[in-house]
């Protein structure tokens, strides 16, 4: 049942459903063949500190996922020997357990990557050698996340994601540290009423893009997964009205761990890459030129730059966007 406007406005994260029966717990131990920094690899998939679908609690990462077999909750913890202990609950627990290695970067192939031409990359790669490119493997969730982050601040995007998932997702099974929710199904995204998008803080172009993608549903997901490479996947995704190259790239990074994806059109990224590699800002064309020597691993270079801690000094006051949701 879709919650009323009054309930939605009063309870951004609600316990509207009792915690579902988790079923038997499945467990596994993933022993990576190479050094792994679990936090650096997986925590970046969390959309802000209040994300209903992922939480960091002490040494544990909790994830609520809508798998092809149903909702699942997974918890990951890295041991002193580098292995990752995982447990999963819910009808999708078998899928979630099987996906743990890919989530932790097991499919990430860095063969041929050479950070040595630039001292910042060389030093960061040495210090953060366990950083892998993990993959979430739930493409529509990654697409919806990316659309919510179009042309807004991260604060606005994280708030909208938090509200929509908590209002229209499904309660996560298992002993989660706080109420968690798996994102809506594709049909669930398509059925969100117009007032709810507004109350969540999304603009009409964003909500229309998610609904348009949801109308194509599983056929869109299958077409993206069947495409041979990044440009082919971008072509499928950008065929949906309201989805551009930035959103397509972000979707590939989050869902598929694409090592070469570059989010052209990002408000900050080109500046960060330019400053880190040259000490000066560049535009998107300049960023692509700087990254060209690492073709095939451009996202890996970007992740190292972001992990380096090097930031361009702030030049202007922080933006405080106005909240129009009550209008």
pLDDT in tens, 170-197: 999 999 999 999 999 999 999 999 999 9
Specify the length of the chain in residues.
327
Judge whether residue 115 has pLDDT over 50: yes
Q: Identify which of 189, 191, 181 has the alpha carbon closest to the alpha carbon of residue 148.
A: 189
| Residue-wise pLDDT tens digits, 218-244 | 999 999 999 989 999 999 999 999 999
Q: How many CA atoms lie within 13 A of 151 on its CB side?
A: 9
Q: What is the DSSP string of 70-139?
A: EEEEEEEEE-TTS-EEEEEESTTHHHHHHHHHHHTTTT---TT---TTSHHHHHHHHHTTT--------H
Position 39 confidence tier, pLDDT thresholds 50, 70, 90: very high
pLDDT at residue number 229 = 93
Q: Identify the pLDDT of residue 322.
A: 55
Report pLDDT digits (tens) over 262-303: 999 998 999 999 999 999 999 999 999 999 999 999 999 999
Percent share of the chain, pLDDT over 90: 84
Which two tokens mark 286? 């300049």
High-pLDDT (> 70) share of the chain, %: 91
Q: Is the pLDDT of residue 14 over 70?
A: no
pLDDT at residue 122 greater than cutoff 50: yes
pLDDT digits (tens, 9 = 90+) for 193-213: 999 999 999 999 999 999 999
Chain Cα centroid distance, residue 6: 30
pLDDT at position 325: 55
Distance of alpha carbon 18 from alpha carbon 250, whole angstroms: 34
User: Has residue 6 got a pLDDT over 50?
Assistant: no
The answer to whether the beta carbons of residues 139 and 225 sit under 8 Å apart is yes
Across the chain, mean pLDDT equals 91
The CA distance from 231 to 249, in Å, is 9
Q: Where does the pLDDT of residue 93 fall: very low under 50, low under 70, confident under 90, or very high at 90 and above?
A: very high
The model carries a pTM of 0.89
> Are 39 and 45 in contact, with CB atoms under 8 Å apart?
no
| Higher pLDDT pick, 10 / 177 | 177
Q: pLDDT higher for 325 or 184?
A: 184
Structure tokens at 146: 């990316």
pLDDT band with cut points at 50, 70 and 90 for residue 307: very high
Q: What is d(CA 45, CA 74) in angstroms, rounded to the nearest whole number?
A: 14
Residue matched to tokens 């630039």: 118
Assess whether pLDDT exceeds 90 at residue 315: no
């Amino acid at each position: 049942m879709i919650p009323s406007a009054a309930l939605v406005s009063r309870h951004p994260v609600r316990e509207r459903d009792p915690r579902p029966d988790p079923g038997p717990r499945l467990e596994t131990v993933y022993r990576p063949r190479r050094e792994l920094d679990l936090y650096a690899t997986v925590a970046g998939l969390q959309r802000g500190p209040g994300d209903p679908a992922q939480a960091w609690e002490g040494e544990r990462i909790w994830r609520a996922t809508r798998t092809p077999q149903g909702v699942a909750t997974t918890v990951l913890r890295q041991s002193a020997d580098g292995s990752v202990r995982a447990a999963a609950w819910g009808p999708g627990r078998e899928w979630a357990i099987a996906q743990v290695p890919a989530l932790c970067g097991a499919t990430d192939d860095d063969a041929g990557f050479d950070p040595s031409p630039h001292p910042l990359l060389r030093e960061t790669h040495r210090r953060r050698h366990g950083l892998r490119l993990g993959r979430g493997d739930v493409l529509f969730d990654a697409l919806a996340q990316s659309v919510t982050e179009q042309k807004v601040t991260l604060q606005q995007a994280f708030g909208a994601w938090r509200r929509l998932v908590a209002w229209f997702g499904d309660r996560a099974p298992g002993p989660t540290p706080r109420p968690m929710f798996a994102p809506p199904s594709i049909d669930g995204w398509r059925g969100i009423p117009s007032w709810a998008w507004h109350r969540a803080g999304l603009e009409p172009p964003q909500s229309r893009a998610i609904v348009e993608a949801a109308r194509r549903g599983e056929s869109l997901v299958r077409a993206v997964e069947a495409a041979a490479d990044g440009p082919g996947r971008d072509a499928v995704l950008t065929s949906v009205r309201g989805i551009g190259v930035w959103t397509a790239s972000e979707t590939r990074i989050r869902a598929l761990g694409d090592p070469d994806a570059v989010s052209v059109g990002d408000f900050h990224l080109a500046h960060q890459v330019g400053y880190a590699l040259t000490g000066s800002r560049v535009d998107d064309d300049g960023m692509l030129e700087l990254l060209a020597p690492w073709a095939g691993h451009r996202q890996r270079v970007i992740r190292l730059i972001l992990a380096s801690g090097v930031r361009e000094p702030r030049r202007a006051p922080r933006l405080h966007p106005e909240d129009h949701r009550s209008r």
